[in-house]
Amino acid sequence: MSLYAAFAGNLDARLMSRRAPHSPLRGTGWLNGWRLTFGGEQMGWEGALATIVEAPRSQVFVALYDIAPMDEDSMDRWEGVGLDIYRRMRVRVDTLDGEEPAWVYVLNGYEGGLPSARYLGEIADAAESAGAPHDYVMELRKRPC
């Protein structure tokens, strides 16, 4: 199994259970030195897509999943790896047990553009249900869309 750090909409455990049914939630943590942003507005979806970029003194709340080998291809298809929309990248996640290596999906597009209100609401709801701190969730809800 490999460790996957989910951010944005993939924080929703119900959604992840459909995308990766053999991959249990392990816990939560933080990507320190990264920030949540949006890009790929030109890719034809309703607004820009969530991604992360390196940013000192910033952090992104994540849920950690033990991704079973049988679910890796499904996750790649869902995130559009074969379509060159997202790519996998290794990061270090800070957890209560220390730092752990994990992979994330990072957008293969330029930063910029605004997400739709619906998409941003789904991201904030997912963060809240995953146990993100209240101030983090409120910052998501106040973002421009």
CA-to-CA dists, residue 130 to 13, 15, 25, 29, 99, angstroms:
7, 12, 10, 11, 19
Cβ burial of 136 (10 Å; 0-12, 13-18, 19+) is middle
- 136's enclosing H/E stretch is helix 134-142
Assess whether 79 carries a catalytic annotation.
yes
- Active-site hit among 41, 54, 79, 139: 79
Q: Is 85 helix (H, G, I), strand (E, B) or coil?
A: coil
- 134-142 vs 117-129: helix crossing angle, rounded to 10: 180
Residue 65 is labelled as binding a ligand? no
Q: From the annotation, which residues make up the binding site for substrate?
A: 119
Q: From the annotation, which residues make up the binding site?
A: 119
Which positions are annotated as active-site residues? 79
